[in-house]
Amino acid sequence: MQSTTTTAGPIPATPPRPDRPGFFARLDWGLLLLLAVAACLLFYNLGQRPFWQDEAETACLAKNVLKTGLPYAYDGVNVVSQEEEREFDKTGGYLWRWSPWIQIYLQAAGFAVGGFDTAAGRAPFALAALLSVFWTYRLVRRHFGDRSWALMAATLLTLCVPFLLIGRQARYYAPGTLIVLWTLDAFLSDWQHRWRPWLVTFFGMVLLFHANYLLFLSFAPTALAAAVLVYPERMAWRRLALLAGATLAVAVVPGIFLYRIGRQSGMFDVLLVPENMMLYFADLCMFCIPLPVSAALAWRWRGFVTRLARPSDPGERFVLFSAVLIVLSLLFLGIVPQRFFRYIAHLLPLCAILLAWCVRRLWGFSRVSAVLLFFLLAFTNWLAVYPMERLKIVNRPWQNDFRMLTSLNFPIKLFATELVCGYPDVNTAIIDFFKAHAKPGQTVLAEYGELPLMFYVDGLHILGGLQGPVPEGTVPDWVLRRRVVRVNRDRFLFGAREFTDAMDLSRDYERVPLAFPDETFGNRTDDPNHHYFIAVEAPQKELEVWRRKGVTP
């Protein structure tokens, strides 16, 4: 692929759109078929696995929203907390202040329509993921007039298993991704002279902040920096200053007080920055943009790196903008203490657009090569995993299995297998056990997985998990010990493990047989490094449940 660059003179403020039909002027049957496939992959068996810990946090808060109108962390019996009760002030009525509220209200809307059902709680988020597929197509087709590129980008996103996993989860990931696409669509429009795209950008920034302020902080400044570097001629500084001021006044400043963002600043650890950056770029190569593609693009755009030579083609200019935005986002996220793949989920549509553009460009040189590249990108992870293995860059989790995304595989086949055949989720076993054996009013001390219990099993007093110290004098009727030993941010044992370590379980309790593998998370779909599609064979440590002697099941 030969690069054509220019440094003389600005490009037009709005790229030409030779093939821009009205939205309803002509049905694109290819797009409709693709959206039907995406809907099946996102909605089929949406409730087959119960909410895992983080999803259940949102679900418990959403349940309280339907009762009180606000996300309170206390329902009169149980407390929702994974940060040792830092998320609220007890004197303030347990109002949730740790994370933004959009995901909570979206899930509450799902419950209001479909009842307290797993699929209903996830449906608004799966819908946002489906709309993200559509908006990926729309962005490319509307602004660059290339139907083939648009369809390929939407197809690659539809078949991207990390995107499908995240899209089926009741958290902010899919809504945040959709808002990012809306904002970029508005940026490519004539916001310098028209108020409608400016307003879309403004409301997008406000919604993004209230979806997740870390997502806002990782996207807004890096998108601005990427725009300055790649689109300097589009910077209408007065309107941009107005946009920044309005966003700060309406969202950021009130949000700092509402969500008490300063309380989380103490988690910063400079020693984690190099490792975080390394792992983020490894995730990028493993699940988003294969290393050979990144290397080819880096060589193609070497003129931009050395002297800011920008491509003259509007489509390639946007792909370069996307690449710069991705790199800057990873550099920014490296300074955030906790590292999770979900923090870069909003970049997946940009990765799909970039990869589809590579296929489209290759088509002009060799159609056979282009078809082969598209097949490798859409249906395999060979191009992503194999080079990392050969270079010994992959930092796999110890529990890696050859049927996971961290090994050479056909990802969409693994995903379809899980959808059709199901998976023996550990939270399902825990929930079913306590539904069958525990009685209302009894106390359960769970070292982890207490939030799914709170949501799915009514009438139990549930303690432990990551809530903090267990109240003195507590005598639980049931004890759920977990395989993984968890420590808090100060590297001390969480209160539940410390409490159970001090108990004489063999004297006061009896072990209840529960022959089910004690997997750590269950449906932890926010990290493709850890998601299981097919059950792992024995031997595995079984769940450890203890019943207090004298308690009638």
At 85-125, the pLDDT tens digits run 889 888 878 999 999 999 999 999 999 999 999 999 999 99
> E strands along 270-423, which residues?
310-311
Average pLDDT on 145-150 reads 95
pLDDT at residue 391, rounded to an integer: 84
> Would you place residue 168 in the very low, low, confident or very high pLDDT band (cuts 50, 70, 90)?
very high
Taking CB atoms within 8 Å and a gap of at least 24, the contacts of 223-232 are 223/183, 223/184, 223/187, 223/325, 225/324, 225/328, 226/321, 226/324, 226/325, 226/328, 227/187, 227/321, 229/308, 229/324, 230/310, 230/317, 230/320, 230/321, 230/324, 231/317, 231/321, 232/10
Q: Which of 380, 520, 528 is nearest to 448 (CA)?
A: 520
Is the pLDDT at 351 greater than 90, yes or no?
yes
Q: Taking a C-beta distance cutoff of 8 angstroms, is the pair 285, 294 a contact?
A: yes
pLDDT at residue 383, rounded to an integer: 94
pLDDT at residue 24, rounded to an integer: 44
For residue 392, is it left (φ>0), alpha (ψ between -120 and 50) or beta? Answer: left
How many Å apart are CA 457 and CA 467, to the nearest integer? Answer: 18
Q: What is the DSSP letter of 84?
A: T
> Would you place residue 399 in the very low, low, confident or very high pLDDT band (cuts 50, 70, 90)?
low
pLDDT at residue 520, rounded to an integer: 84
At 450-490, the pLDDT tens digits run 999 999 999 999 999 999 899 988 999 999 999 888 877 77
> Would you place residue 395 in the very low, low, confident or very high pLDDT band (cuts 50, 70, 90)?
low
How many Å apart are CA 168 and CA 159, to the nearest integer? Answer: 14
Type of residue at 331: L
pLDDT at residue 552, rounded to an integer: 74
Q: Number of helices (H) and strands (E), helices first, in the chain?
A: 23, 7
pLDDT at residue 26, rounded to an integer: 63
pLDDT at residue 400, rounded to an integer: 65
Q: What is residue 7's three-state secondary structure? A: coil
At 261-299, the pLDDT tens digits run 877 655 666 777 888 888 899 899 999 999 999 999 999
pLDDT at residue 90, rounded to an integer: 83
Strand partners, 464: 446
pLDDT at residue 485, rounded to an integer: 85
pLDDT at residue 398, rounded to an integer: 54
pLDDT at residue 401, rounded to an integer: 73
- The residue ranking higher by pLDDT, 168 or 522, is 168
Sheet order of strands, 443-446 included: 461-464, 443-446, 478-481, 544-548, 509-512
pLDDT at residue 10, rounded to an integer: 41
How many Å apart are CA 176 and CA 546, to the nearest integer? Answer: 41
Report the chain's mean pLDDT, rounded to a whole number. Answer: 89
> Would you place residue 229 in the very low, low, confident or very high pLDDT band (cuts 50, 70, 90)?
very high
Using a cut of 0.85, tell me whether the model's pTM lies above it.
yes
pLDDT at residue 368, rounded to an integer: 96
Is the pLDDT at 5 greater than 60, yes or no?
no
Q: Which of 275, 257, 180, 254 is nearest to 222 (CA)?
A: 180
How many Å apart are CA 137 and CA 144, to the nearest integer? Answer: 11
Type of residue at 388: M
pLDDT at residue 265, rounded to an integer: 57
Q: Taking a C-beta distance cutoff of 8 angstroms, is the pair 325, 226 a contact?
A: yes
At 11-63, the pLDDT tens digits run 444 444 444 545 444 678 999 999 999 999 999 999 999 999 999 999 999 99
**Ramachandran angles phi, psi of 34, nearest 5°:** -65, -40
pLDDT at residue 9, rounded to an integer: 41
